[in-house]
Amino acid sequence: MSCRLTGGPTNSAAGASGVVGEADLECEFEIFRNAAAENSSGPFGPSSMMWHIDKEAAIFLGAGRALLLQLAHPWIATAIAQHSRTLADPIGRFHRTFSAMFTMVFGTTAQALAVARRLHLRHARVSGILAEAAGPFAAGSRYEANDVAALRWVHATLIDTALTAYQLLCPPLSGEERERYWTEARLFAAFFGIPHDALPQSWADFAADNERMWRSDVLSVNDQARTIAGAILSGAGTWLPIPSWYRALTARLLPARLREEFELSYGEGEHRKTERALAVLRRLYPWVPARLRYVGPYQEACARLAGGKRPGVATQLLNRLWIGQKSMAG
């Protein structure tokens, strides 16, 4: 089935092809509805690469990288500055983001679709005007959170960063596993309403797309992005201190140009700091018990497939830590 965007035109400078409307979203959802009757474990399932990667707590090592890559897009930085409570409630944003993402990966099909609809409706209220020019975007140009270009970039940062962080502590994927992961990532994109044919066909094409984007002036770090990034990496608005090694690791994982535009230091001292931290984590991580190593939503999903009606107390506590609530949404 081929879906055609009905949500309207968008800014051609972004290389996008339109805004995702509600009808477009429901059209993309057909792929899940058709598979739901055959797959009781949800959109992906225990044998999927999405579960294999996203169950690991190691992926949170990339949370700062993913956020800064998103902030490097002027539309996203402006939208967060104008519409989000990220600075006032950074932990709340962290929880909301991962609650939605983990429910799409580990939830039932019904849970995942319900969360995707709510996310789309929330994004439908996010639009505005750029106050100043940035990269190819003129001052006064309009942005829409549900624009395909913006959604594609958010999707790309999540998928690429999850694997990047995973491979910091876990064995690297084989070429065949990367292709399986990308095939599933293209399915995951349907939760955002991203047209299937708007995505690269292979992992190699996806990686090349990312490289082009990192060099492109579409990513242009503005003052709003630097302010938000600085606040997040300093732990502002939260009781949680951000370790200096984590700030250095975030800088290390960014493309050099963007690291410089965010004005993040990464010299010999920062490199040694990240090497020491990773050396310790790599020694300890394989010995962490599965109950702590694997994220709560994954454990909730495993219990569901084993016939459990609700997550156990330990899983509820882990869910509180990672997604801010006792169980997945939906």
pLDDT at 17: 58
Residue carrying the six token digits 């169950």: 55
Cβ-based neighbours of 168, under 8 Å, separated by 6 or more: 58, 61, 62, 278, 281, 282
Cβ atoms of 232 and 86 within 8 Å: the answer is yes
pLDDT along the chain (330 residues), means of 10: 57 62 91 64 93 98 97 94 82 89 95 95 93 89 93 98 98 98 96 94 98 96 94 85 95 98 97 98 97 95 88 89 86
CB-based burial, 69-98: b 16+ in 10 Å, e otherwise: bbbbbbbbbbbbbeebebeeebeebbbbbb
Whole-angstrom distance, CA of residue 102 vs CA of residue 110: 14
CA distances from 282 to 52, 247, 278, 289, 295 (A): 18, 18, 6, 14, 18
105 closest CA partner among 184, 180, 4: 184
What's the alpha-carbon Rg for the chain, to the nearest Å? Answer: 19
Query: Domain residue spans in the chain?
Result: 12-231
pLDDT at 93: 86
pLDDT at 180: 97
Whole-angstrom distance, CA of residue 309 vs CA of residue 244: 41
pLDDT at 1: 52
pLDDT at 32: 79
pLDDT at 85: 78
Whole-angstrom distance, CA of residue 68 vs CA of residue 64: 6
pLDDT at 302: 94
Terminal C-alpha separation, the chain: 27
Cβ atoms of 70 and 262 within 8 Å: the answer is no
pLDDT at 241: 86
pTM of the model: 0.93
SS3 19: strand
pLDDT at 35: 60
